[in-house]
Amino acid sequence: MCGIIGYTGVLPAKDILIDGLERLEYRGYDSAGIALLEDNNIILKKKTGKVAGLREAAGDIKSDSACGIGHTRWATHGGVTDINAHPHKCGQVALIHNGIIENYRELIVEYGLNEKLVSETDTEVVAALLDKLYEGDPVCAIRKAVKRLAGSFALCIMFADKPGKIYAVRNVSPMIAASCDEGSIIASDLTAVIAFSKKYFVVPEYHILTLDKNGIKVEDLKGNVVTPEILEVNWDITSAQKGGYPHYMLKEIYDQPEALRNTVTPRVKDGLPYLLDDGIPDDIFKEFQNIMVVACGTAMHAGMVGKALIEKKLRIPVTVEIASEFRYKDPIIDEKTLTIVLSQSGETIDTLEALKLAQKKGSKVLSIVNVKGSTIARESDYVLYTHAGPEIAVASTKAYTVQVAAMYILACKTGLERGIMDEASARDFMAKLMNAGEIIEETLKNANNIKLIAEEIKMAPDVFYIGRGLDYTMSLEASLKLKEISYIHAEAYAAGELKHGTIALITENVPVIAIATQEDVYSKVISNIREVKSRGAYVVLVSEDDEINDSNICDRQIKIPHLEGEFTAFATAAVLQLIAYYTSASKGLDVDKPRNLAKSVTVE
């Protein structure tokens, strides 16, 4: 994700833009830049690093232009460099972008744009396209360009010969706008707008905005002027940093649909898994004999979900190792092993050292990383970046589900390249994976029910998560989430293993959260639930079941949508994240920065 802002009005724009970018910095902080429009000239200042560095660099801009755009970047296409930083300028056009243009390569060829380009980004292609199409009418040029763009975009655009005006258009990527006495402002979210106005509107998709100091015109692609619904925000600037959510963690749980779309969509071409744009050749999926997955914490749990799928669908052996263990056990891997490393931060020292050990033993390393250009990414033979945007809360949520999605993409690609999956089943699989965001959106509608359940378990000294197969794997992540932010001792247990000792701990009202989403073991899990219920447990059943109404089975239910086996992972993840979140929040704990923890563990 990136942060974008535009301002045109009666005040000098430079500091307004930079202040706004500082408030948007949680959306990305690889690089930042501004463009000011003054006397038919576009003044550009952009550089890698945080917004504070841009503010210093912009000190030499003497312009008091009252019209400009600003951007803080979370790199997706192209490295973290000054040239790749936004705004991008091409001829008469300067623009900023949040999203992913999927067909930017085709556009370069179709419109002969190559000579115009200096960066590695998809965004610059849009600027070049607009400059090529521009014949004096910005709205006309934007209308033509938008019809050719595929993917997600929130664009703010200036044309050198249109002083005082900013144009904007979006598809999927968020953008809101507001008019006020000081002029008109547009941004990725309220964080940057609320200082000017508590009244705003959400930019309607595929509508072209023209902003000037007197107001904002909104027209559809046919040129019909529309009046958007004006909304009013009821929270203050401090919570605005979290897009209106009380905690980053909750915001990031709700970010998951967008994060999944941004991660999966660019890896699908003609309905099939496509990784060439990521520099991952098809051949590597044919060569290896076994897979080693190495990571820590939540990243390791995501790898375990990938293992469950790969072994079930592809019958390829997958070993999952905790990085800190892997490093000291003289692992049995060689050139016939593909090592998959997962890391949100790309800086976890145990994972980094495990990566180097795998390479020393001859194994190629493919890493799944969220932070572009991070150390693990740079050290890997291949990198599949997740596009979750910055994850601020220490407890990982959206990074986990996009890591699972990335594992699923690799599994499908392997199955296709080895002929284990035919094209039809690969298309069906990828179509279902493209829908993962909607699965989470649907599941999050359980939030109020989950909040009530959290109130009922929050004072328990111990909580047990049980499940079988994939649901046991999900239990591991669930218990970590609950432990690390609510400080309750939570334990994940294979449901069939309970009776071999641990069931001695199940007494009156001990909460047991039973996950029963896998059809092939459902009845077995239900009988395990009856075992703990008969010992007085307080059972929360997470399943696809409608109301069960049987006190011998469960006290509470959380219903997830009906899904095919492995895709329940996305729904279950959302449920378990919310259980942990609401339990911690209801205890008044520091959800985003729990005690003793750090977002990236760069020490051994």
Interface with ligand AGP in residues 501-560 (CB under 6 A): none
Give min distance, CB of 376 to ligand AGP, in A. Answer: 8
Residue at 352: amino acid letter: L
d(CA 51, CA 19): 9
**Cβ-based neighbours of 151, under 8 Å, separated by 6 or more:** 99, 100, 101, 102, 103, 122, 171, 172, 265, 266
d(CA 125, CA 118): 10
Q: In what helix (H) or strand (E) does residue 457 lie, and over which residues does it extend? A: helix 447-457
Binding piece for ligand AGP, criterion CB under 6 A, among 295-303, 512-520, 558-566, 571-579: 295-303
Known catalytic membership, residue 599? yes
Give min distance, CB of 262 to ligand AGP, in A. Answer: 18
- Spatial CA neighbour of 429 closest among 407, 408, 460, 459: 408
Q: 98 or 374: whose CB is closer to ligand AGP? A: 374
Q: Which of 2, 67, 156, 412 is catalytic?
A: 2
For residue 367, state whether it binds ligand AGP (rule: CB under 6 A): no
Q: In what helix (H) or strand (E) does residue 309 lie, and over which residues does it extend? A: helix 297-314
d(CA 462, CA 37): 60
For residue 591, state whether it binds ligand AGP (rule: CB under 6 A): no
Q: 197 or 344: whose CB is closer to ligand AGP? A: 344
d(CA 262, CA 392): 18
Q: 173 or 263: whose CB is closer to ligand AGP? A: 263
Backbone φ, ψ for residue 239 (5° rounding):
-80, -10
Known catalytic membership, residue 296? no
Question: x/- site string to ligand AGP, residues 251 to 290, per CB under 6 A?
Answer: ----------------------------------------
Binding piece for ligand AGP, criterion CB under 6 A, among 219-227, 293-301, 455-463, 543-551: 293-301
For residue 241, state whether it binds ligand AGP (rule: CB under 6 A): no
> Does residue 103 come out as left (phi exceeding 0), alpha (psi in the -120 to 50 range) or beta?
alpha
For residue 66, state whether it binds ligand AGP (rule: CB under 6 A): no
Interface with ligand AGP in residues 456-495 (CB under 6 A): 484
For residue 577, state whether it binds ligand AGP (rule: CB under 6 A): no
Q: Site for ligand AGP (CB under 6 A): which residue of 262, 396, 414, 568?
A: 396
Report how many residues bind ligand AGP under the rule CB under 6 A: 15
Give min distance, CB of 578 to ligand AGP, in A. Answer: 14
**Cβ-based neighbours of 308, under 8 Å, separated by 6 or more:** 469, 470, 473, 566
**Cβ-based neighbours of 568, under 8 Å, separated by 6 or more:** 470, 517, 518, 544, 560
Q: 290 or 600: whose CB is closer to ligand AGP? A: 600
Which CA distances in Å does 458 have to 397, 401, 454, 461, 551? Answer: 20, 25, 6, 8, 21
For residue 394, state whether it binds ligand AGP (rule: CB under 6 A): yes
Q: Would you tell me which residues interact with ligand AGP (CB under 6 A)? A: 296-299, 343-345, 348, 351, 394-396, 484, 600-601
Known catalytic residues are 2, 599
